[in-house]
Chain A
Amino acid sequence: MNYIFYFLIVISIIAGAINGKLTDVVNAILSGAELSVKVAFSLIGIMAFWLGMMKIAEKSGVIEIIAKIIKPVTKRLFNEIPEDSPAIGDIAMNFSANAIGLANAATPIGLKAMEELQKLNKDKKSASNAMCMLLAMNTAGFQLIPATVIAVLIGIGYKNPTEIIAPTLLVTSITFLSAVTLSKIFEKFWEPQKEND
């Protein structure tokens, strides 16, 4: 991440200078910083709502039931996480919310799962295998219906916008399966986390 951060910024400045867009690049610092805070603050309300809902779901045992249903899958993907951890239920809810396109619910629930995984993490500064797996599931962006894309297609008068659903679903499934498989492979070969706290 250190190199990528350095690379992104230095490349931008050099390329901006060559292209005569240095002012734009410098202005982007301000607008980007502003946007970050806007994004974070726009999350507060919806985050609070779903964290509240999830707490009720947890106390009433709903999460536990969901976790039991998907146990066969999570046991393989998250073998380091104890079966009775609330993280398992959160991960299942996060995946389902993503799949049906409820990004607003998926992110807060996913972050709650991260918090549970962090409690089980050996080294609080580095990502555990389980966290990398959860991230792989989320960065792959598995979704049954690409609603925004369809909306754009309808907007330009696309005759049969639903014909895009099947190929998109096929591609997103391939991406998702590769991400999960890659995560499992890397887990075996990557240097393990150091134990400290």
Chain B
Amino acid sequence: MFHTFMNVISLWALPVIIILILTVGLFKKVPLYETFTDGAKDGFHVAVNIIPYLVAIIVAISMLRASGIIEIASQILAPALNLFNVPADTIPVMIVRSLSGSAALGVFSDIAHTLGPDDYATKLAAIMVGSSETTFYVLAVYFGSVKISKLRYALIVGLIADFIGIVAAISVCNLMF
């Protein structure tokens, strides 16, 4: 019931927003076409502006993933996390989810397909992936678009929040499943 309701919202959200914006614009006598193209011409600049920042972040993270260190870190962390009822398979998800969204989804799919729907690891990984956003990517894109290189406390806050998210996911999953 809730799911269908949310599906309807997801499906209709965009069309409704677009119709609303255009209709109000027309009603207020805003020159729609001119205004649209005037706003849209910045799209290219923004995308080009973020390239250097994306290259820095994505290359560094690609290198890290290729080096095999994530697997090593997972092995080191496994015994400690075992005490909190955390399956070893989910550890790479925790490490990778702040670094790369596609990688986190990839690791999660892998767990889901190999361990199956009834495994605790599948549920925990699902919650961890579903409740997170790729912190490094967001930082690169948002700050890159306005050419900011001094992030001050933004990264620390993002990473602490990610850590809290992992702890919360483990606790909630323990309570529920």
Residues of A within 8 A of B (CB): 1, 4-5, 8-9, 11-13, 15-16, 19, 21, 24-25, 27-29, 31-33, 35-37, 39-41, 43-49, 51-57, 59-62, 100-102, 105, 107-108, 110-111, 114-115, 117-118, 123-127, 131-132, 134-136, 138-141, 143-150, 152-153, 155-159, 162, 164-165, 167-172, 174-176, 178-179, 182-183, 186-187, 190, 193
Q: Does the CB pair B36–A55 fall under 8 Å? A: yes
15 A-B residue pairs with CB within 8 Å? A1-B149, A19-B69, A28-B65, A32-B63, A36-B55, A53-B18, A60-B21, A111-B142, A118-B148, A126-B151, A136-B158, A141-B134, A143-B130, A148-B105, A178-B165
**Residues of B close to A190: CB separation below 8 A:** 152-153
* Residue total for B at the interface (Cβ-Cβ under 8 A): 98
Q: Does the CB pair A141–B41 fall under 8 Å? A: no
Question: How many residue-residue contacts, CB under 8 A, span A and B?
Answer: 344
**Residues of A close to B128: CB separation below 8 A:** 171
**Residues of A close to B51: CB separation below 8 A:** 36-37, 40
The distance in angstroms between the C-alpha atoms of A145 and B130, with both chains bound, is 8
**Residues of B close to A158: CB separation below 8 A:** 112, 117, 122
The residues in B between 110 and 167 inclusive whose CB is less than 8 angstroms from any CB of A are 112-113, 116-117, 122-123, 126-135, 138-139, 141-143, 145-158, 160-162, 164-165
